[in-house]
DNA sequence: CAAAAAAGGTTTGAGCTTGAAATACTCTGC
DNA sequence: GCAGAGTATTTCAAGCTCAAACCTTTTTTG
C-alpha cells in the first residue's frame, strides 16, 4: 500500500490534519490488529486442541472466576463488553457442560446469578495455567519491564475510550 | 526455551518460574486485547452507521484496493489471514452489491480473480478516508513518533509468529 | 495415458457476534 | 391498585468465523 503517490506528501510540513500523524496511527493500528489476531488465533487453536473449548467460553469462565459470588447476565456482558444476547448462548452451552449454573436471585424473578460449578472451577484452573504459559511464550519478545510499560500505556488508551 | 526447569533461573531476585514475566505479559495481553476491541467496536459502529457496511467487508475491499490486478480467492484469504470458506461468503455479498467482480482466470477453470469494480473503488476511497480519520482520532493519545516506534515493535512480534 | 495427488473453491455445521424486538418482571407515582 | 417506566434476560435475523468435507480441475507420476 504505502507509497503510491510518486511524491505525495511533499510540500511544506504543516501536514497536521490528514497528514503524517494519521498515517503513523494507521500503521500502528494495522500492526496492533495483526499481532492481536495472531495471538488470538494461537490461543484459540490451543484451547480447541488441548481443552476442546473456545476463547469466548474461556473469557466467560475467567470473568466468573474473578467473581466468586456470581454475576448477573447483564453484569457479565458488561465485564466482557459484549452484547447481552451474546452471553446467553455461551452460558447456555457452558451450563449444558456442567461448568456453570444459573442461580435464581431471591428477591427478583427476572434476574439470575451465573456461577462456576466446582467442576467449572477445576477446569478453569487448568485452562488458566496453560493460557498464561502460552501467552508468556507468545509474547516472549517482551521483557517484563517492557510488558509492564506497554500495559500501562494501553491502559490509558483503554480508559480514555471507556466512558462513551 | 521457557525457563520451566524446577531450578533453572532463580537466585538473583528473579525467582520467576511461572512468575513475574508471565504475569506481566498476561497483563499486557489483556490491555492489548481490550484496547484493540474498543477500537474495533468503534470502527465497526461507524462503518455500520455511516456506510452501512462491516469491518470484514472493509478489510476485503482494502486488500483488493492494494492489488489492482485482482486476487485469487486463496490469495485473498492468505492476505487477510482468514479461512478460505470465510472469504467466499463475504465476496458473495460484495458481488451482490456490485462492489467486486469475479473474473475467470484464462488458463485455469478452477480459479477466479476477485477485483473491485469502479463503483467498489469509489466507495472504498470514501470509506478509507473516513477510516483513517476515525483511527487518528481514536489513537490520538499516541504521538506520531510513539506510534511509529510501537508499530515497529509489534511488527517484530508479528513477523516472529508469522512463519509457523 | 490413466490413476493418484494436489490445488482452487464452495458447502456445511457449529458456534460467535451484533442490534433490535419480544418477554417477563419490578418499581414509581398517582 | 394500576398504568407506565424501567430493568433483566431471551429470542431473532443477519452476518462472521473456523474446520472439515466435498467438488472440480489441474498436475504429477507410475
Q: Kindly report, residue by residue over B132-143, the tens digit of the pLDDT.
A: 999 999 999 899
CA at A37, C1' at D18: how many angstroms apart? 14
Q: What is the CATH number of domain A31-162?
A: 1.10.10.10
* Sequence-distant contacts of A89-94: CB under 8 A, at least 24 apart: A90/A56, A90/A57, A90/A60, A91/A60, A93/A57, A94/A57, A94/A60, A94/A61, A94/A120
Confidence band, pLDDT 50/70/90 cuts, at residue A4: very low
pLDDT at position A162: 54
More confident residue, B156 or A141: A141
Which chain B residues are Cβ-neighbours of A133 within 8 angstroms? 2, 18, 22
* Distance, Å, A44 CA → C7 C1': 27
Average pLDDT over residues B109-127: 97
Q: Which residues of B touch A138 (CB under 8 A)?
A: 161
- DSSP bridge pairs for A156: none
Distances (CA, A) of B97 to B48, B67, B116, B128: 15, 20, 11, 18
Q: Is the pLDDT of residue B77 over 70?
A: yes
Q: Please say whether the beta carbons of A25 and B154 come within 8 A.
A: no
pLDDT of residue A65: 97
Alpha-carbon distance of A84 to A88, in angstroms, equals 7
Condensed to tens digits (0 to 9), the pLDDT of residues A102-118 reads 999 999 999 999 999 99
Residues 6+ apart with CB under 8 A from B127: B47, B51, B53, B58, B61
Is A42 in CB contact (< 8 Å) with chain B? yes
Q: Residue A159 above 90 pLDDT?
A: no
How many other CB atoms are found less than 10 A from the CB of residue A127?
Answer: 20
Distance from CA of B72 to the nearest CA of A (A): 18
What pLDDT does A158 receive? 67
Which runs of consecutive H residues, i.e. helices, occur in chain B? Answer: 20-51, 55-66, 73-80, 84-96, 118-138, 144-162
Checking if the pLDDT of B120 tops 80, the result is: yes
How much is the average pLDDT of A23-40?
92
A101 to chain B nearest CA, in Å? 26
Range scoring the smallest mean pLDDT among A31-45, A97-111, A145-159, B133-147: A145-159
Read off the pLDDT of each residue in B45-62 and give the average, rounded to a whole number. 97
A149 touching chain B per CB within 8 A: no
Residue B146 has pLDDT above 70, yes or no: yes
How high is the pLDDT of residue B161? 58
Query: In a mutagenesis test of the A interface, which of B157, B162, B163 is the best target, namely the one with the most A β-carbons within 10 Å?
Result: B157
Looking at residue A61, what is its pLDDT? Answer: 98
Rounded mean pLDDT, B47-74 = 96
Q: What is the mean pLDDT of residues A25-39?
A: 92
Hey, how many other C-beta atoms are within 10 angstroms of the C-beta on A83?
A: 9
CATH of domain B55-134: 1.10.10.10
A109 CB and strand C closer than 7 A: yes
The nt closest to B92 (CA vs C1′) is C10
Give the A window 88-127 contacts with B, CB below 8 Å.
none
pLDDT at B12: 40
> Quick check: B57 pLDDT over 80?
yes
A33 C-beta neighbours (distance < 10 Å), count = 17
Residue A47's pLDDT is what?
96
**Closest residue, chain A, to B140 (C-alpha):** A25
pLDDT-derived band at B21, boundaries 50, 70, 90: confident
pLDDT number for residue B108: 95
* Residue B109 cell numbers, joined: 477453470
- Structure confidence at residue B162 (pLDDT): 54
| The pLDDT of residue B37 is above 80 | yes
Amino acid at each position: 500500500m504505502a507509497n503510491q503517490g510518486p511524491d505525495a506528501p511533499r510540500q511544506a510540513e504543516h501536514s497536521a490534519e490528514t497528514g503524517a500523524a494519521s498515517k503513523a496511527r494507521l500503521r500502528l493500528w494495522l500492526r496492533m490488529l495483526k499481532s492481536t489476531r495472531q495471538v488470538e488465533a494461537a490461543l484459540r487453536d490451543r484451547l480447541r486442541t488441548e481443552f476442546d473449548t473456545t476463547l469466548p467460553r474461556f473469557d466467560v469462565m475467567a470473568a466468573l472466576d474473578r467473581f466468586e459470588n456470581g454475576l448477573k447476565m447483564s453484569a457479565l456482558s458488561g465485564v466482557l463488553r459484549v452484547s447481552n444476547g451474546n452471553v446467553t448462548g455461551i452460558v447456555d452451552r457452558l451450563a449444558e457442560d456442567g461448568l456453570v449454573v444459573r442461580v435464581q436471585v431471591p428477591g427478583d424473578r427476572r434476574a439470575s446469578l451465573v456461577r462456576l460449578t466446582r467442576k467449572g472451577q477445576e477446569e478453569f484452573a487448568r485452562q488458566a495455567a496453560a493460557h498464561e504459559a502460552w501467552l508468556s511464550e507468545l509474547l516472549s519478545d517482551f521483557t517484563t519491564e517492557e510488558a509492564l510499560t506497554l500495559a500501562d500505556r494501553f491502559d490509558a488508551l483503554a480508559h480514555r475510550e471507556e466512558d462513551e
